[in-house]
C-alpha cells in the first residue's frame, strides 16, 4: 500500500505541469506530506478543461460493527478497479483523476523501528498517480490512488506500487475507455525510471491523528 507521499511544488507549478488554466491557488491549502484522511491536490477534468482541486485522500468507509457517529475509515488505495466498490466509477471518465506527487514512501525495517524509504521518478520534479474521485457526504470531494504489482525497483521494499503515468498518458487515463484504464493497472512501469532513497527517518513521525488507512 501507499500511505504517504509528498507534493513539494507550489500549486502554481503543479498547475503549469498539468495544463490547468487559472487555478484557484488560494484554495490549495495542502501539506507537503500527504497522509490518508488529509487533503491533497488532485487534477480532474470538468467541461473539457483540467481543474486543480483540494480533496481528502481516502474514500470514507463505515465498517460493520462501528459505533454510530464513529469517524469513517479512509480507503486511500485501490487494489483492483474491477471490484464492485470501484468499477462503476472507473467506467466513467469523469470520476478519474491525476494525483500529483514528487515522491512516495514505503515503510522498511522491523516492526517498531520501521523507517521511510522514498521513491521518485528520475529527472521529473513532479509526476502523476492514477486515481478515482467522488463527492462524499462525510468529507466532500475525496480521492483514492490505483495500485498495481511492483516492478523490480520497488520489490526490495514492497510487492505493490502506485499506478504511475507518463505525461503523454494523462489524457488516456482521464478520458479513455474502461479497458484502457484496466491496462494501466495491469502493466509494469519501467524499473529504470525509478530511484530509491533510504532514510533513517522513523515511519511514524508525530502528526495529527488520522484514521488508519485501508485498501480495497
Distances (CA, A) of 78 to 18, 25, 59: 23, 28, 10
Quick one: pLDDT at residue 68? 76
Domain segments of the chain as ranges: 5-215
CA atoms within 13 A on the CB side of 109: 15
User: Distance between CA 83 and CA 77 in Å, rounded?
Assistant: 13
Quick one: pLDDT at residue 142? 98
Quick one: pLDDT at residue 31? 92
Give the global pTM: 0.92
129, 209 in Cβ contact below 8 A?
no
Cβ neighbours of residue 46 closer than 8 Å, sequence gap 6 or more:
none
Would you state the CATH architecture of domain 5-215? Alpha-Beta Complex (3.90)
Q: What is the mean pLDDT of each run of 10 residues along the chain (216 residues)?
A: 93 95 82 96 95 96 78 95 97 98 96 96 96 96 98 96 98 98 97 97 70 46
With vertex at residue 10, the alpha carbon angle to CA 127 and CA 57, rounded to the nearest 5 degrees, is 65
Grid cell for residue 82: 474491477
* 3 state SS for the chain: CCCCEECCCCHHHHHHHHCCCCCCHHHCCCCCEECCCCEEEEEEEECCEEEEEEEEECEEECCCCCCCCCCCEEEEEECCCCCHHHHHHHCCHHHEEEEEECEEEEEECCCCCCEEEEEEECCCCCEEEEEEEEEECCCEEEEEEEEEECCCCCCCCCCEEECEECHHHHHHHHHCCHHHHHHHHHCCCCHHHEEEEEEEEECCCCCCCCCCCEEC
CB atoms within 10 A of CB 125: 12
Amino acid at each position: 500500500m501507499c500511505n504517504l507521499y509528498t507534493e513539494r511544488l507550489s500549486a502554481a507549478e503543479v498547475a503549469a505541469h498539468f495544463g490547468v488554466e487559472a487555478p484557484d491557488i488560494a484554495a490549495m491549502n495542502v501539506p507537503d506530506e500527504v497522509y490518508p484522511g488529509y487533503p491533497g491536490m488532485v487534477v480532474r477534468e470538468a467541461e473539457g478543461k483540467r481543474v486543480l482541486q483540494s480533496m481528502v485522500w481516502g474514500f470514507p468507509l463505515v465498517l460493520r460493527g462501528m459505533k454510530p457517529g464513529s469517524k469513517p475509515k479512509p480507503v486511500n488505495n485501490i487494489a483492483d478497479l474491477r471490484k464492485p466498490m470501484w468499477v462503476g466509477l472507473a467506467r466513467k471518465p469523469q470520476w478519474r483523476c491525476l494525483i500529483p506527487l514528487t515522491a512516495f514512501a514505503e515503510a522498511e525495517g522491523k516492526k517498531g523501528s520501521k523507517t521511510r524509504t522514498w521513491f521518485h521518478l528520475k529527472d521529473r520534479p513532479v509526476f502523476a498517480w492514477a486515481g478515482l474521485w467522488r463527492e462524499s457526504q462525510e468529507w466532500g470531494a475525496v480521492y483514492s490512488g490505483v495500485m498495481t504489482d511492483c516492478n523490480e525497483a520497488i520489490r526490495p521494499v514492497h510487492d505493490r506500487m502506485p499506478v504511475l503515468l507518463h505525461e503523454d498518458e494523462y489524457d488516456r487515463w482521464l478520458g479513455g475507455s474502461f479497458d484502457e484504464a484496466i491496462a494501466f493497472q495491469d502493466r509494469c512501469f519501467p524499473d529504470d525510471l525509478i530511484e530509491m532513497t533510504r532514510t533513517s527517518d522513523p515511519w511514524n513521525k508525530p502528526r495529527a491523528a488520522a484514521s488508519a488507512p485501508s485498501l480495497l
